[in-house]
Amino acid sequence: MSDETVRFDLPQTDIPHQWYNIQADLPRPLPTVLHPGTHQPIGPDDLAPLFPMDLIMQEVSQDRYIDIPDEVREIYKLWRPTPLLRARRLEKALDTPAHIYYKYEGISPSGSHKLNTAVPQAYYNKKAGVQGLTTETGAGQWGTALSQACNFFGLECFVYMVKVSYQQKPYRAAMIRTFGAQVTASPSDTTHAGRGILAQDPNSPGSLGIAISEAVEVAATSGGKYKYALGSVLNHVLTHQTVIGEEALKQMDLAGEYPDVIVAPTGGGSNFAGISLPFIRHNLKDGKRTRILAVEPAACPSLTKGVYAYDFGDTSGMTPLVKMHTLGHTFVPPPFHAGGLRYHGMASIVCELYDQGLIEAQAIPQLETFAAALTFAKAEGIVPAPEAAHGIAGAIREALAAKESGEKRVILINLCGHGHFDMSAYTAYLDGNLNDLEYPDEVFQEALTHLPQI
């Protein structure tokens, strides 16, 4: 490749044939998942009301690789492989000796990485004879992806969208409806869980935990007609996303470099895992020493401020108990604009990697995040989603640190989605109407009193 090459593309024959499952390589296995009622280890039958058996078996699989069905790879061809780009203009703008690369998932039909797991989840549910899927969505990227995937496979789709995001991003809700899905602002009066939240706080802005409770309730009480789909957190979801990192490994070879540090935004863990897990495999198996940096919002810092404990994945306590870094399942984050990162907990895989010292984490406030987004947009021409901008902000910190020390540093970012439906957030920032929302420590401490006693 030329020294001036900016874009590194793979042919469609290089779309991965297998997902990578890091559970096979973890130095210490993941903690046991517990039943929400009995606090005993759960089995496949306990999860059957929510998920088809193929996904349940992927959730607990210890196989290093899981074959991607041909039907899924055929749909992947609509956008995969995604490009890897060298951010030369950003490097120049920062006057840094660092080499910055970004894997751009925003070219997918849904505009983000979320379709990588939405398609296989819809496929396995269709295969199991399910009529439709229920889900939650924060910023709307996951809801968009699942609505498209359900449309591809002829499934009904019901999306509970966090109310503050529903209000901030009306066109994202419209896009979800375009593909035939039904969108409900959460908390709503359509479920027992939603009515309970509204009784406590009629003006609740909602949270991913609340929306999960509503979606799970609808699936669990449908008599098997509907199943539940989750866009992050679960093991099988993170595994599906590894197509990103597997492609990136080949593309870094094309670039003739290997990353010193990988930076990705982290809310529930899916895009972070997607780019990083295949590289962590090489750290664990081949002696590579790539630093892996998870970046989260300062207003919802589950890794950097949360406690590592068993907690519910939803607000109402309907989901299995997972050991994770949590702010408490009743914690409702402030209504900052990175709606996809407003989650009280974190994926079990990401938490174990963090607890075992295999990854790093840092929290970045909202104003620095949007400043980084504008710097990137002006240099590279892509307006990133606020969620993705957290990874960019972390990468800019790394690039400036390289400038300060005078060292070359190869940085890889997962640019997980575009911000075309986030213009109200950018308008608020450009008009000076955004603030660095304070991390409400007293609310967090109160939420921790509700942790289940295990």
Instruction: Give me 364's structure tokens.
Output: 């970045």
Is-contact 113 414, C-beta < 8 A? yes
pLDDT tens sequence across 36-95: 889 999 988 899 999 999 999 999 999 999 999 999 999 999 999 999 999 999 999 999
Tell me, what DSSP letter sits at residue 436?
-
Structure-derived torsion over alpha carbons of residues 421, 425, 431, 434, reported in degrees to the nearest 10 = 180
pLDDT tens sequence across 133-174: 999 998 789 999 999 999 999 999 999 999 988 988 889 999
Can you name the residues that pair with 307 across neighbouring β-strands?
Answer: 326
Backbone angles phi, psi at 274, to 5 degrees: -60, -45
For the chain, domains (ranges, CATH) are 7-14+69-111+236-448 (3.40.50.1100)
d(CA 439, CA 417): 25
| Percent above pLDDT 70 for the chain | 97
Backbone angles phi, psi at 409, to 5 degrees: -145, 125
Strand (E) or helix (H) holding 102: strand 99-104
Distances, alpha carbon 413 to alpha carbons 39, 243, 275, 323, 369, in Å: 39, 15, 8, 28, 14
pLDDT tens sequence across 103-123: 999 999 999 999 999 999 999
Backbone angles phi, psi at 162, to 5 degrees: -50, 130
Name the pTM for this structure. 0.94
Tally of CB atoms within 10 A around 43: 12
* Mean pLDDT, each 10-residue run in order, the chain (454 residues): 82 98 96 92 91 96 98 98 98 98 97 97 98 93 96 98 89 95 96 95 90 93 94 95 98 98 94 97 97 94 94 84 92 63 86 97 95 98 95 98 96 95 91 84 85 88
Backbone angles phi, psi at 182, to 5 degrees: -100, 130
Strand (E) or helix (H) holding 400: helix 386-405
The number of CA neighbours under 13 Å toward the Cβ of 246 is 19
